[in-house]
Amino acid sequence: MTRVSDWEYIGSMKVKTSITLSEDLLGAIDQRAGNKNRSEFIEEALWSFIAQMIRDEQNARDIQIINKRADYLNQEAADVLAYQVKL
């Protein structure tokens, strides 16, 4: 498969499914879909949402690691600042 973007593949297998959405949401989709059909628009939106969830999870793990090491990192920063020459 050739990767086109973060959420789209050339030649990817599609599975037909059915979902129930409010009329308001369908109207918003239709207004914003442009040249895409609803399925393309919804798939792109869901891939974007999932990508954001993955980034949020990675950021949460990073923050957890930083917080776990905060005392050490703060001590290192204070040590570096101690070597600065006052102007």
What pLDDT digit, counting tens, does each position of 8-62 carry?
A: 555 578 889 999 999 999 999 999 999 999 999 999 999 999 999 999 999 999 9
Question: 70 in a domain, yes or no?
Answer: yes
| Dihedral sign, Cα of residue 72, residue 57, residue 44, residue 28 | negative
pLDDT for 1:
46
pLDDT for 3:
53
Check: pTM over 0.85? Answer yes or no: no
What residue numbers bound the domain in which 33 lies? 2-82
Instruction: Cite the DSSP H helix spans in the chain.
Output: 23-32, 38-68, 70-82
Residue 17 has a CB neighbour count (10 Å cut-off) of: 6
Number of domains forming the structure of the chain: 1
Question: 25 in a domain, yes or no?
Answer: yes
Question: 43 in a domain, yes or no?
Answer: yes
